[in-house]
C-alpha cells in the first residue's frame, strides 16, 4: 500500500437551492440545516475545497480541525443566466433544450463552455496531484461540486462512464485509489470506493 495515493471527493452539503432543484454554479446558497447531522469517520493528510461558501462550510463541518486549502479551479460550472432557474422554468426554452441534448457544444447564456470548465478543473487537479506527489503524501480530501466530481470520475474512475451517468449524492463521497506512478502519468485509478456520510447517532 506504500505506493498508493488516495484522493477522496466529497460533494458539498444540500443547499436551499438544491432543494428547489435549481441550477447552482458560481452563485451560492445557504446550506440546509440537516448537514449538521452528518459526520465522517475518516481523516486525510491534506484537504482542498472549492472557494464557494457551500463547500467551505461543508469542509469545516465534516473536517472541523483541518486546515483546508481553497482553490477557485474547483468551482462548479458557471450557468450564467440560468443560475437559480429550475427545469420547469427553462423547459420551454429551445436553447436550454439544445444544451441538455449536447452540453459539450451548447452553453448557457453568459455561462461557461464545457471545454473551459474541464480545462479549469484539470488545472486544479494538476495542482492537487502535484502537491501530493512532491510532498510524498498518501491521501487528501477534496470538497467540491457535483459537476466537478462527475467530470473527475469520468476521467479517472476504473470503469469508463460518461459524465452524466455518474450519480453524485450529497451524503456520499468517493475514494479514488491510485498507484503513485499511475497518478503521476495521469492514468485512471485502480480502485474506486464509496464513502458514506453517517447521520449522528447511527453509527
* HEC assignment per residue over 88-113: HHHCCCHHHHHHHHCCCCCCCCCCCC
Buried b (16+ CB within 10 A) or exposed e, 20-54: eebbbbbebbebbeebeebebeeebebbbbbebeb
Task: Say how far apart CA 54 and CA 158 lie, in whole Å.
Answer: 29
Model pLDDT, residue 200: 63
Give me 78's grid cell: 458557471
CATH topology of domain 4-77+113-199: Rossmann fold (3.40.50)
Give percent above pLDDT 70 in the chain: 96
CB 12 within 8 A of CB 53: no
Mean pLDDT of 113-129: 97
Give the mean pLDDT of 93-119. Answer: 95
pLDDT reading at 202 higher than 50: no
Residue 15: pLDDT over 70: yes
Tens of pLDDT, residues 26-71: 999 999 887 777 788 899 999 999 999 999 999 999 998 899 999 9
Give the H or E element holding residue 10: strand 4-11
Q: Which residues contact 4 (CB under 8 A, 6 or more apart)?
A: 138, 177, 178, 179, 180, 190
Least confident of 10-24, 28-42, 54-68, 116-130: 28-42
DSSP designation for 5:
E
Q: What mean pLDDT value characterizes the chain?
A: 93
Domain boundaries, the chain: 4-77+113-199
pLDDT grade for 201, boundaries at 50, 70 and 90:
low
> What does the pLDDT read at residue 203?
42
Residues forming a β-bridge with 199: 38
- Note the Cα 61 to chain centre separation in Å: 17
Amino acid at each position: 500500500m506504500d505506493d498508493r495515493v488516495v484522493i477522496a471527493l466529497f460533494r458539498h452539503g444540500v443547499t436551499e437551492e438544491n432543494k428547489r432543484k435549481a441550477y447552482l454554479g458560481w452563485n451560492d446558497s445557504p446550506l440546509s440545516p440537516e448537514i449538521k447531522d452528518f459526520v465522517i469517520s475518516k481523516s486525510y493528510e491534506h484537504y482542498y475545497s472549492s472557494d464557494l461558501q457551500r463547500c467551505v462550510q461543508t469542509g469545516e463541518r465534516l473536517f472541523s480541525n483541518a486546515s483546508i486549502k481553497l482553490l477557485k479551479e474547483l468551482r462548479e460550472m458557471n450557468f450564467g443566466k440560468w443560475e437559480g432557474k429550475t427545469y420547469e422554468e427553462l423547459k420551454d426554452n429551445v436553447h436550454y433544450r439544445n444544451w441538455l441534448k449536447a452540453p459539450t457544444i451548447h452553453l448557457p447564456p453568459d455561462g461557461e463552455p464545457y471545454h473551459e470548465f474541464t480545462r479549469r478543473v484539470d488545472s486544479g487537479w494538476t495542482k492537487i496531484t502535484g502537491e501530493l506527489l512532491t510532498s510524498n503524501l498518501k491521501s487528501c480530501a477534496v470538497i467540491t461540486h457535483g459537476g466537478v466530481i462527475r467530470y473527475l470520475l469520468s476521467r479517472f474512475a476504473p470503469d469508463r462512464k460518461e459524465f452524466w451517468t455518474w450519480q453524485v449524492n450529497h451524503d456520499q463521497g468517493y475514494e479514488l485509489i491510485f498507484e503513485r506512478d499511475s497518478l503521476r502519468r495521469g492514468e485512471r485509478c485502480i480502485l474506486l470506493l464509496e464513502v458514506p456520510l453517517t447521520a449522528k447517532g447511527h453509527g
